Amino acid sequence: MKPILISGRANPVLALHISQVLSLKLGQCKIDSFPDGEIHVEILEDLLGCDVYLIQPTSPPVAENLLELLLLSDAARRSGAAHITGVIPYLGYARQDRRSAQGEPVGGRVAANILSIGLDRIISVDLHKPTLEGFFSVPVEHLSAIELIAETLKKSLPDNPVLVAPDLGAAKLANTYADILDIPVAYIYKVRESGDKVSIRNIVGDVSGYSPILVDDMISTAGTMIRAMDALIAQKCRPEIILVATHGLFVGDGPGRISSFPVSKIIVTDSILQNKDQLPLPIHVVGLKTLLANAIRRLNV
């Protein structure tokens, strides 16, 4: 079936790169916002009988990008698309995968429910937890950027490196990187006190005299990485720290706070549109275009 790629406004650069790998032109589409803030979408393509791929990470502004994706899927459905896949390299609300207090919703489940209504399939990358797949009632193609990021790391490993999980949730991820790179690993016991406040209880493993490579699935406010760096420096690590995450959200004053630490490199992917000029940081962006294009090729019905 003929594949058509359509991009939302969240990451048109990645969408263009994917289309170039597939030698396809991006489908024409008009998206703007009405004066009252409502999003208006118009797909200017004949989609009758097509296999449509809507490329849109649900990155900040999360609610807006999520709704834009749902409007695109409704427009595609009403235009006769035979099959609609959401290419969502970063899935917002994924951290709300359980209730931590009475009276809270399971936000990840709510997001999965509404996406499962509008889409026939999801392609995503390094979900906050692999079990999130079970929240969707449509198939999820869960890809990983770990191999790609590890390849980048391999090219310029610092002296005496140690992989560090900034919290226990990242322990498995750190082990995976450690296995690929064949370097030791340490774990930090972090406690989240609120949405933007975390504290460190303990470090398991040797970090003194080592160059830490902190790995996580995402950097949002950077609170987790900053607390981890404080703890590593207190344990006399080498003043050459690398931060690694698949998804670089860099919200609030996170980037500014990172720049006061001895960070030699930050490796993220382009799951979220990065504007390197606006970030006062040594960012290296790993491209996901081939990973995602290959998935589209494989799944094209």
| Cβ closest to ligand R5P, residue 51 vs residue 167 | 167
190 is catalytic: yes
| 229 membership: H or E segment, kind and range | helix 223-234
Question: Under DSSP, is residue 225 helix (H, G, I), strand (E, B) or coil?
Answer: helix
Between 153 and 170, CB nearer to ligand R5P: 170
Q: Give CA–CA dist 291/165, Å, rounded.
A: 25
- Closest by alpha carbon to 121, among 143, 94, 140, 93? 140
Please identify, using beta-carbon distances, which residue of 50 and 232 lies nearer to ligand R5P: 232
Assigned token pair, 206: 């040797």
Alpha-carbon gap, residue 278 to 192, rounded angstroms: 28
Nearer to ligand R5P, 52 or 267 (CB): 267
Other Cβ atoms closer than 10 A to 166: 29
Which CB, 12 or 169, lies closer to ligand R5P?
Answer: 169
Smallest gap from residue 9 Cβ to ligand R5P (A):
24
Q: In what order do the strands lie in the sheet with 263-269?
A: 197-204, 185-194, 161-165, 211-219, 241-248, 263-269, 283-286
Can you state the angle between helices 146-155 and 171-181, rounded to 10 degrees? 50
Structure tokens at 57: 């990470």
Name every residue whose Cβ is closer than 8 Å to that of residue 140 and which is 6 or more positions away in sequence: 121, 122, 123, 124, 132, 133
The residue ranges that bind ligand R5P (CB under 6 A) are 95, 167, 169-170, 216-224
Instruction: Out of 2, 30, 190, 197, pick the active-site residue.
Output: 190
Residues belonging to the active site: 190
